[in-house]
Chain A
Amino acid sequence: MATFFGEVLSVFSRAVEDEDGEELVEDEEDEQIRRELEEKREVHLHWNSEVSESLQSGNKLQCSDFILAVGHNAASFLSVYVLTSSSWETVGHVSVWNERTKASTGQSSKESACVFHRNKDDPSVLICQVFCYIADDQLFQWTEKVFACLQHRGLNVTVLSDCSVTDYMTADHLCTSSAPFLRSLHTGVFSGRTACPSLEQPNIITGLSASVLNHCQVYRIAAVVYQCYSDVNGPDSVSMETFKPALAKLGKSIQLDSSPSTDVLRKSVQTTDIKSNLYI
């Protein structure tokens, strides 16, 4: 699609699949390759022995608050402000393989891409940090598999997610000083007030936060997504701070660290690879 100024935009909703009528005829080998790829792209959940035992005996995870952080700013925010206290234990992770998974990464970094933490004092509070990319065809499966482990009664879902301010549409032109800012979107059964204005039409959210919100809307689970629109390319401490009011809403179940650990902060900000060497 081209704008009135002639530059070509790739607009999400206009993606058209050109099958060109004919469906490809597959031979046995093609089919095998396709099947193997599909298997490789499957989403796997790994819980620690205690959780998996209880899941196997048919008991779902008793969870009052599930906090999901998608993207570097959101996930690092939890690392810096919440997970620094000693009351959190790692209880599991999700492994996902797709076209953006780096071939050279070892087991350890793969495991740290989607991690579950549980509060030791209040085991009904569960946190999941998602640092990695999850492909379109894996989002639904990720959501179904994770929510299949959680008890739905009394469950409150909070999703923190970040994206670029260029994805935000508004009739008033944004001045550069307004970013980063927060917008929310919640399911029908969510009661209470959100910590920020609601996402205005025609803006939409996509990716894992959309997938989780769809699931919660359809199965009537109280859920809210806080989307941070940031103008910095990569994790930064100012964008992370915008999530503070969102978690403050949760009250007692989550304790925010008033003085974030600078070491953890430095580490999380440094994790982005330098993409260009032009100005080095």
Chain B
Amino acid sequence: MKMFIASENSPSFFKEFTLVMPAVAVGNVAQLAVDLIVSTLNMKRVGYIHTDCLVPMAGNNPYTTCKEDAEELHTPAEVYSAPELKLAILQIRAPVIPTKSKKFRQLIVSWIKSSGFSRTVLLSSSHAYQRDDQQLQGTPLRYLVTPSLLKVSEDVLKELGWREMERVPVFPGVTDTNAEPHLCIPGGGITKGLFTDSCSEDLPLAVLLLFCSEGDNIPDAFTLVNHLNDWLHLLDNPSQEANKWKIPNSWRLLFGSSVPSALF
């Protein structure tokens, strides 16, 4: 079954594009960060990812700026493009159906392969409370790269001075085992699976993740998107002007309806 379906009159051409996509994870940080990119760069929707692996949902235009573009139907997973930046974004708005996460990863990997993206950046988050001692220190941001992306981006990554996600011991506290330390991304959804799949499929993929907790995750989204911007330079110096990123309309009422004033 074809998973990517192009929308009206938009030729989809992704050869040598960079793909940025979120993992549905703790606090929805990655999805919020992706929303900021699409909204700020005013990216155009070029297609849908139509699959049985995601919970169905539908709503009007989340990035609406005026009355005219408000009534536009949007679906659980959509692809946006900015050809001048050679950038494509996959936004995912619904959770993956638990029994179908493996199938979803396979679909994503095969779509990435067939589209010819030069590299993929997976934004993600992980439970802050499950960090071990070494992870508690310093920045909450981590990265991971597959061997095929490391080959071409090693110098850039060194220059950025980012911290790689630590492998943690399988049995913490037990020293005399032969078990190799392993990668552990609790609360990261498909992050670990997609990373290991990309390693074995020789896909150039990087994971950028943030340790965080559930709550008001808007500041986390800004942290993650600024971190990504240090590498991809989507915006020039976003930190100088505090709010260069444009918050989309759909972020209103993130904590539900307003409360009746008669209550107080």
Contact = CB atoms under 8 A, between A and B. Distances in A.
Q: Do A and B come from one complex?
A: yes
Interface of A: 1-4, 9, 13-21, 23, 136-137, 139-141, 144, 168-174, 185-188, 198-211, 213-215, 217-220, 225
* 4 interchain residue pairs of minimum CB distance: A140-B52, A211-B56, A204-B59, A210-B56
B255 A19 contact: no
Given A139-B56, A185-B59, A205-B57, A172 B182 contact: no
A36 to B, nearest CB: 14
B142 to A, nearest CB: 15
A173 B257 contact: yes
A202 B253 contact: yes
Contact of B56 (A16, A206, A219): A206
A126 to B, nearest CB: 21
Interface in B208-238: 214-215
A219 B7 CA distance: 9
Contact of B57 (A140, A169, A206): A206
B135 interface: no
The majority secondary structure among interface residues of chain B is loop
Given A14-B214, A17-B101, A169 B72 contact: no
16 contacts: A14-B28, A16-B24, A21-B182, A23-B102, A136-B97, A137-B97, A140-B56, A170-B253, A186-B73, A198-B71, A201-B60, A201-B249, A204-B58, A206-B57, A213-B58, A218-B5
Given A4-B255, A17-B24, 20 more contacts: A13-B31, A13-B95, A14-B27, A14-B28, A17-B98, A17-B189, A20-B186, A21-B192, A169-B253, A185-B59, A186-B71, A199-B59, A201-B62, A204-B59, A205-B58, A206-B56, A210-B57, A210-B58, A213-B73, A220-B8
B61 interface: yes
Interface in B233-262: 249-261
B58 A214 contact: yes
Nearest to A1: B214
A173 B192 contact: no
B52 A141 contact: yes
A225 to B, nearest CB: 8
Contacts of A13: 28, 31, 93-95
A217 B71 CA distance: 13
B186 A206 contact: no
B117 interface: no
